[in-house]
Amino acid sequence: MIQNDIWIKQKAAEGLIQPFEATLIRKVDQLPVISYGLSSYGYDIRLSPNEFRVFRHIPGTVVDPKYFNPHNLEPVELHHDKNGNFFILPAHSYGLGVALEKINVPDYISVLCIGKSTYARCGIIANLTPAEAGWRGHLTLEFSNSSSADCRIYANEGVVQLLFLEGEECETSYNKRQGKYQDQPEQVIVSRV
């Protein structure tokens, strides 16, 4: 069963999402923002301004998920103008950011992460993996720019929506099996084996 705003608000008070916005925020200081916070059946998390990295080609190398070379990721500068803080994801590229919010998933919940229509309509595809039962930390967020134009991705504003799916409590949670991505800090975490 998918959880509603009442459940999300109750669990947020117990540490599910930190920091937590109990309403959907669409303006900050009278300026429009890409919405974040609580919605009817989900929670829109924000992109942290701390870090964003874009894949770059290094001649003679191949990206290997088993032996990831961090030099294949180039830090991207945080820009600022009257519209807010943003990173630029170049055309036809792939980038990694991190969620501003920290989540702490109960052992009977799995979290699906889906893209927001505001970005999807600009050619940005959010390619996110689920947060399993018992997982906690700041999600590493993956974005592909499928358009032929560079695109802004705004920091401190909504980037993806979390959907909380309830099932019977599992025998072995992510925490119990000591998953390799447990307790991720608010920074980009690369592929691990």
Return the CATH number at 142.
2.70.40.10
Contact 176, 134 (CB under 8 A): yes
Domain membership of residue 182 (yes or no) is: no
Of the candidates 142, 168, 169, 171, the residue annotated as catalytic is 142
* Residue 179 belongs to some domain of the structure: no
Range of the structural domain that residue 139 is part of: 5-166
Give the model confidence (pLDDT) of 132-142 as tens digits.
999 999 999 99
Does a structural domain hold residue 175? no
The pTM of this model reads 0.93
Residue 142: active-site member: yes
Determine the 3-state secondary structure of 182 from DSSP: coil
CA distances from 3 to 29, 107, 109, 112, 164 (A): 31, 14, 9, 12, 5
For residue 171, is it within any domain?
no
Residue 192 lies in a domain: no
Whether residue 106 is predicted with pLDDT greater than 90 in this model: the reply is: yes
Position 98 pLDDT exceeds 90: yes
More confident: 180 or 154: 154
Contact 93, 145 (CB under 8 A): yes
For residues 115 and 88, the answer to whether their CB atoms sit within 8 Å is no
- 181 falls within a domain: no
pLDDT at 6: 98
Number of domains in the chain: 1
Domain assignment present for 185: no
